[in-house]
Amino acid sequence: MEIKTPYIWKNWEFIFWEKATDHNLTHSLHYWTGAFEGIRFYETSNWPKIFRLKEHIERLFYSANTLELKNPFSKEEIIKACIDIVKKSWIESWYLRPIVYYWTWKMWLNPTWASVETVISAWNWGKYLADKAIDVKISKYKRMHPETADMNAKISGWYYNNVLVSLEIKKEGFDEGLLLDTDWFIAEWPGENIFFIKWNKIFTPEVWTILPGITRATIIEIVEEKFWIKVVEEKIIPENLEEFDEAFFVGTAAEVTPIWSITFSWKKINFSSWEKNSLTNKIKNYYLDIVSWKIEKYLNWLS
């Protein structure tokens, strides 16, 4: 059963979950004019800790600015509100969703004169992907071209592309999908970035069509500092997937998820990411230690 906090933070006040409603003519419902973040917090030996809260809120404001959403609250106020909802709800290891969006019943495309709503919710998401190596298929859909949108922004409307992939993949019996860009290079899954391992070297698609995720940046940093491995960012084509030994997804919701196989066209490529002594599992376990307040070096990432 999905568990949620009894409270929603909305425009500087706490309201009960059931009362957090909007009109069906809300501009963002029709045109997806909202910016949002997904943030995890974890139970630790020293109270619940929110992982990289500052970085998430900075990206929230960046994303909102691409839509000219003028958040009436400062970054510091939103950070405090995220902490307050964790404290008030007495929950220990869940998921936060702050969102900023336009509200108006007038359906003009340009909403910049409209009011702005700011809302923060929390619920228990658990494991977003299976707690095992997963089967992946390259989707028939392509990642949006970077000249059609700001790839650094996390905007509600961008996720229509992702929903199409999810619907396609689940019908075909796979755990997850993988998007190529319009030049047929590997991009990302709609909710995660991807890494590959070959001979103890790590590769990931370069920043072009992907959302450069906060977890992606985290993994690059800890891999280079803890495991002394330089992460190479480059264009990767599906035909070269057989060269890699391991593969894994990373993201706030997915954390670090090993990939068992990737299917492309008629070919299925298997990886050893699931093995107990794989580099993927070592990275995964180290990441989970970091978010659980166990690695002193990274305590500043936890609020």
For 132-158, what is each residue's pLDDT tens digit? 789 999 999 999 999 998 999 999 999
- Rounded to a whole number of angstroms, the CA Rg of the chain reads 20
pLDDT at 131 over 80: no
Q: How many CB atoms lie within 10 A of CB 126?
A: 12
Rounded mean pLDDT of 216-240? 96
Rounded mean pLDDT of 28-54? 94
pLDDT at 162 over 80: yes
Tell me the domains of the chain and their CATH numbers: 7-123 (3.30.470.10), 134-296 (3.20.10.10)
Rounded mean pLDDT of 73-100? 91
pLDDT value, residue 2: 59
For 54-71, what is each residue's pLDDT tens digit? 999 999 999 999 999 998
Euclidean distance between CA atoms 153 and 180, whole angstroms: 19
Task: Supply 215's token pair.
Answer: 């977890």
The string over 186-214, giving b where at least 16 C-beta atoms fall within 10 Å of a residue's C-beta and e elsewhere, is bbbbbbbbbbbbeeeebbbbeebbbbbbb
pLDDT value, residue 6: 84
Lowest mean pLDDT among 49-58, 90-99, 139-148, 193-202: 90-99
pLDDT at 130 over 70: no
What's the mean pLDDT when you consider all of the chain? 92
pLDDT at 12 over 60: yes
List, by residue number, the catalytic residues.
Answer: 154
Rounded mean pLDDT of 17-39? 93
Binning pLDDT at 50, 70 and 90, where does residue 28 land?
Answer: very high
> What are the residues whose beta carbons fall under 8 Å from the beta carbon of 243, sequence distance 6 or more?
198
pLDDT at 47 over 70: yes
For 108-118, what is each residue's pLDDT tens digit? 899 988 999 99
